Structure 1
Amino acid sequence: MSNRQYLGYLRRDDPLYSYLRHEIQPLLTEAGQQRAEYRVFRLNASNDVFLYEEKYSGAKVIGKFFRCGRTDNAAKATARLNREFDSLCALRDCGLTGSPHHVAQPLGRNSALNALLVTENCEGQLLSKVILATIANGDQAHLFRKLTGLAYFLATFHNRTAAASGGIDFQRNCAYMEQLISKLMRIGGIGHDEADELRWLREQWRRQTRMWEDQQVLVHGDATPDNFIIGSGLHVSGFDLERAHCNDRVFDVGRMAGELKHFFLRATGDRQAAEPFIGHFLWEYACHFPNRESAFRSITGRIPFYLGITLLRIARNTWVSRDYRRYLINEAKECLRGY
């Protein structure tokens, strides 16, 4: 499901071997399997995430460690582990299992093993690979179809978890933007004057009643192309829900729109290259509401803020070059001026 690096076999004296062999393996294969050997692959992910493939049965699972070193806070790591486990369970309880909407099945959690979460391995192609392939080969129709599936998945994800009462606490998103501004200042991406400009733009959005009015839903919280696996037809699998929380549905939709803009901007240098795909994605998302046009107006009225903070989020990464960081910040400000 991702770029992976083969590391060898899991040692039998590793406590993880016993856990996989006796707690996880019985969930995947018939009882009575006499032997078990696990090939280990490191996946290209922000956490310590590995794929474990049992040699004889071929069963595969994903192991995600929330505590990556002795200096990490054990209580915080366990809290993150439990939040993701509970979010996966809650969404599967809402019917996001099978096709076309699937959330990875949690198979086990073990706080003693560096806060380990074990989930099923979802087969398919990462959305990020689909986007990059479209940029390389120009097959726009394929990406349009897959964005239709993603829009359907996210609309279902959001609509099935809509809170019975309670509007959006937009203050939370303003506070998140402050974190991004502070990080950009620390790494020298912006100075005090530009930070004040961004804060002024944020206050204009805070004053807009539309940012507070919608019903909150459970959002993925990290809706990036590396966290969705695309299958045949409209099938989409979602995973990596450690940042799931209640918020404006456009938090997710805007994050994906910003990621699309970033992928095309970085590859082509054309600030407009992603616009047809973003527009298609938003229009397809809006079709899952009683009044599509009204939903589209509501979403697009809020999208510039979330698109802007997504670009700031990408800009604060250390792997971003100085020139590209400046480009992202300028684009973010253009979005945020759309209040």
Structure 2
Amino acid sequence: MQETKKRASARSESPRTSGEIHRWLRRLARENPDIFGRGGQWKIRPVKEQHASSHVTEVYQIDDKRVHVKFFRRTLGPTSTTYEPCREMATEFATLKEYERRGFGSGKYQVARALGSDERLDCALATLYVGGFTLQSLIQDVIHGKRGPAELYMGLELTAGLLRRIHTEMPQSYYIDQCEMFYSYLKALLRLEETGALGGFHRKAMRNMARWYEHQPLFRQRGVTVHGDANPSNFKIKDGIIYAFDVERSRPRRSKCVDLGSIAADLWHQFAYEGGDGNKAEPYVQHFIRAYEPDRKHRNEIQDLLPFYTSQSLYKIASLGFWDGEYRRRLIEEGTRRAEEVPELSK
């Protein structure tokens, strides 16, 4: 009985009460009159909506507008030992503001608009809600015959255009962060190794990585700012405009192939998991790459390096805890096969 009272007291003292969240949202409405108007009563109510995320998220209706709130202290999966929720919240808020400052709040290719953040409310970050549909739902609808392939081709063209804009208009550098490149690859492999999932692929994976380490073009890439978590659930399309979300992993001095490989890997994964045949994703992957880079010479350079990054993303997907052993093995096998595609350089 006493323990029950303690738990009830803890809940009542939690900073993340609906009343405090509503007061915070009203303050954000006052601070953003260009969106919410001036002097309104701002009736607020929660709205139920499913959203694929690694954190607890909620949507609130404020009169005729909606706000999306992500709580960084409420994670839905494993986090690293160095994860600090309020630091991550502050990083994403600052990143969103930088995108806004550079013009990503208008036009055909946009990034979600940040409204505010508050450490006291479970490290909450509020962004202006965008309707429409995610690229992931579009992929799945095409796989299940609910939409035609032409719609997915158009969706991938929009995604390619947005990523290209990010890669060209955000900060660039002469070189990529080479240590981070291999650290990210190793991290995905080590997660699989720790759970015993890598199995007989361990030796092949290490050998492939050593071969890529000798591939000099991998190290001569120019650095760009990447989205950093370019999976299809983080892009929404509405009225011919595409919006990017969840940019807390957006970083400079990365290869553009980080984002391109993520999309390519997720297309294979969606067609394999939802449709039973990952090879059916290939026409869409090629269309996406052509839309991103129309120039054949530069596109060939991307195609040479893409297997390394696609492999990394497939290993990363495999390390998630959602899959049964058989499907996880398929992901690892495909990731290993992609990593074997090290280009042969002419002497």
Q: TM-score, normalised by structure 1?
A: 0.88
Amino acid at match of 1:286: E
Match 1:319 to one of 302, 316, 322: 322
Structure-2 change in CA distance of 1:211 and 1:120 (3 Å): same
Could you tell me which residue of structure 1 aligns to residue 71 of structure 2? 65
Of 73-82 and 85-94, deviating more is: 73-82
Tell me how far apart the structure 2 counterparts of residues 150 and 232 of structure 1 sit (CA, whole Å): 14
**Alignment partner for residue 31 of structure 1, among 11, 15, 38?**
38
Deviations 1:43-80 (A, max 9, x none): 432201110112xx2221011111128xx999811111
Give the residue type in structure 2 aligned to 1:321.
Answer: D
Deviation at residue 204 of structure 1 after TM alignment = 1.1
Residue in 1 that maps onto 2:219: 212
Report what 1:161 is aligned to.
Answer: 170
Shift of 1:40: 4.1
Contact 1:170 1:212 in 2 (8 A): yes
Query: Partners of 1:13 and 1:98 in 2: how far apart?
Result: 32
> SS at 2:68's partner residue?
strand
Question: What letter is aligned with 2:329?
Answer: R
Q: For residue 6 of structure 2, what is the aligned residue in structure 1?
A: none
Distance in 1, matches of 2:83 and 2:304, equals 40
Letter in 2 for 1:146: G
Q: Distance in 2 between matches of 1:232 and 1:23?
A: 26
Q: Which runs of 4+ in 1 moved over 4 A?
A: 72-75
Distance across 2 between alignment mates of 1:330 and 1:26 = 51
Per the TM alignment, residue 42 of structure 1 is displaced from its structure 2 partner at its CA by: 5.5
Partner residue of 1:201?
208
What displacement does 1:228 show? 0.1
Q: Secondary structure at the match of 1:66?
A: strand
> Counterpart in 2 of 1:146?
155
* Equivalent position SS for 1:275: helix
Instruction: Pick from 117, 128, 132 the counterpart of residue 124 of structure 1.
Output: 132
Aligned-pair CA distance for 1:294: 1.4
Q: Within 1, Cα distance between the matches of 2:168 and 2:332? A: 32
What is the match of residue 307 of structure 2? Answer: 304
Partners of 2:302 and 2:216 in 1: CA distance:
14
- Structure 1: which 5+ residue stretches go unaligned? 1-10
Corresponding residue of 1:240: 246
Count, aligned residues:
318
The whole-number CA distance in structure 2 between the counterparts of 1:162 and 1:308 is: 26
Structure 1 residues 75, 274: CA separation in 2 closer, same or farther (over 3 Å shift)?
closer
The answer to whether structure 1 residue 19 and structure 2 residue 24 are counterparts is yes
Higher mean displacement: 169-178 or 314-323: 169-178
Give yes or no for the alignment of 1:52 onto 2:60.
yes
Q: Tell me which amino acid in the other structure corresponds to 1:179.
A: K
Q: Structure 1 residues 96, 75: closer, same or farther in 2, change over 3 A?
A: same
1:268 counterpart (263, 271, 275): 275
Letter in 1 for 2:156: L
Correspondence for 2:89: 81
> What is the one-letter code of the residue matched to 2:260?
V
Query: Equivalent residue for 1:170?
Result: 178
RMSD, matched Cα:
2.1
Give the aligned partner of residue 259 of structure 1: 266
What TM-score, normalized to structure 2? 0.86
Report deviation, 1:39.
2.1
Alignment counterpart, residue 190 of structure 2, candidates 176, 182, 185: 182
Q: Say if 1:168 and 1:211, in contact at 8 Å, map to a contact too.
A: no
Residue of structure 2 in register with 1:114 after alignment: 122
Q: Which residue of 2 aligns with 1:280?
A: 287
8 Å contact 1:107–1:118 — kept in the other structure? yes
Q: Distance in 1 between matches of 2:148 and 2:101?
A: 36
- On the 8 A contact 1:202/1:336 being kept in 2, the answer is yes
- Distance in 1 of aligned mates of 2:18 and 2:231: 37
After superposition, the Cα gap between the structure-2 partners of 1:311 and 1:261, relative to the gap in structure 1 and judged at 3 Å, is same
Counterpart-to-counterpart distance in 1, 2:244 and 2:48: 20
Letter in 2 for 1:256: I
| Offset at residue 195 of structure 1 (A) | 2.2
Distance 2:151 2:38 in 1: 42
Letter in 2 for 1:79: R
Distance in 1 separating the partners of 2:340 and 2:18: 58
Query: Where does the alignment leave 5 or more consecutive residues of structure 2 unmatched?
Result: 1-15, 343-347
Percent identity over paired residues: 26
